Amino acid sequence: MLNTTKTERRKLRTKANDFLQLMIDAGEKEILESSEIDKKIYLDDDTIDAQSLLFLIAGYETSSTLLSFAIHVLAAKSDIQNKLRTHIKDITEGKEMSYELLAQLDYLEGFLLETLRMYPPLARVDRICTKEYILPGTSIKIEPGNVVAIPVYGIQMDPDIYPEPNEFIPERFTEENKKERPSHLFLAFGAGPRNCIGKRFAMISAKLAMVALLKKFKFSLCEKSVHPVVFEKKGILLKAANGLWVHIENINQKQD
């Protein structure tokens, strides 16, 4: 599909407002000189394909992981589920969904961020050192080219940073509480100039999904539920060893 789309756009000189087009444009720069076109390659096709596929896969898989753990939390903590459902209904009932309306759902945002704190889709991120650095208070030197593994899960479950880390507390992410904590100590979306390019889109889509689900369904633990969650030790993304199982009840279904 990527090859067909790239070929058509290059042949017909058409453009689209999407991620693939940005990659194509970065792959070629046309400079007109003396009626001749000089092309300089910046990105090869393998890189364009890899980045496009990664953009798609990363967006789907990480968002579904967030929603899966969020539903598990709702099933395990009925008080939070009831509070969140009331919060959503009070703000959205009878109103057309919009970006501005979603922005008012501060408790929902705190709930999703707390889910990401306890269950970050990526338990660690890797970065390559670009200049010599000595870790403060030690003699450990990091050389350019060294790969540094940053333990996202370890940082976000550190009791010195998040007191009672095993307790699910959405209020950790109120605007007031976030200001008291350095932003780089929450790494579910990374930090700095290479943080997640899809952060806003991910949060909007997750909020929309949670609004739709909580208005219609009630979640509870079932016989196959495992709580606390036991993690799978192999794999890149954080996953439950035996899956996440909950009982789902349609609360809008009319009873006879």
DSSP class of residue 13 equals T
Averaged pLDDT, 71-77: 98
pLDDT of residue 44: 85
Bridge partner residues of 29 (DSSP): 40
What are the Cα distances from residue 198, in Å, to 8, 23, 48, 99, 176? 27, 16, 18, 16, 25
Q: Which of 135, 150, 133 is nearest to 187 (CA)?
A: 150
Return the SS3 of 151.
coil
What tokens were used for 60?
């789907």
Is residue 57 classed exposed, middle or buried when 0-12, 13-18 and 19+ CB atoms within 10 A define those classes?
Answer: exposed
pLDDT at 116 over 90: yes
Query: What is the spatial distance between Cα 87 and Cα 211, in angstroms, rounded to a whole number?
Result: 10
pLDDT score at 58: 73
Average pLDDT rounded to a whole number, residues 130-145: 95
Q: How would residue 30 be classed by pLDDT, with cut points 50, 70 and 90?
A: very low
Mean pLDDT of 101-126: 95
Show binding-site residues. 196
Is 95 or 31 the better-scoring residue by pLDDT? Answer: 95
The confidence score (pLDDT) of residue 62 equals: 85
The pLDDT of residue 41 is: 58
pLDDT of 126 above 80: yes
What's the rounded Cα separation, in Å, for the pair 2 and 17? 15
Residue type, position 93, single letter: E
Provide, rounded to the nearest whole percent, the portion of the chain with pLDDT above 90.
68
Q: Can you say how many angstroms the Cα of residue 24 is from the centroid of all Cα atoms in its chain? A: 25
Q: How confident is the model at residue 32 (pLDDT cuts 50, 70, 90)?
A: very low
More confidently predicted of 233 and 159: 159
Beta-bridged to residue 252, according to DSSP, are none
* Rounded distance between C-alpha atoms, residue 162 and residue 179, angstroms: 14
Q: Where are the domains of the chain?
A: 44-250
Q: Please state whether the predicted TM-score (pTM) of the whole model is above 0.85.
A: no
Nearest by Cα to 242 from 251, 233, 250, 253: 233
| Residue 38 in this model has a pLDDT that exceeds 90 | no
What would the pLDDT profile of 156-168 be if each residue is shown by its tens digit? 999 999 999 999 9
State the amino acid at position 28 in one-letter form. Answer: E
Task: Indicate the pLDDT class of residue 39, thresholds 50, 70 and 90.
Answer: low
Determine the average pLDDT of the residues in 212-235: 94
- Of 2.60.40.1120, 1.10.3720.10, 1.10.630.10, 3.20.20.70, the CATH number of 44-250 is 1.10.630.10
Annotated binding site for heme: 196
Q: For 59-72, what is each residue's pLDDT tens digit? A: 778 889 999 999 99
Q: Is 205 helix (H, G, I), strand (E, B) or coil?
A: helix
If pLDDT is split at 50, 70 and 90, which confidence band does 194 have? confident
Question: How high is the mean pLDDT of the chain?
Answer: 89
Please state the separation of Cα 119 from the chain's center in Å: 11
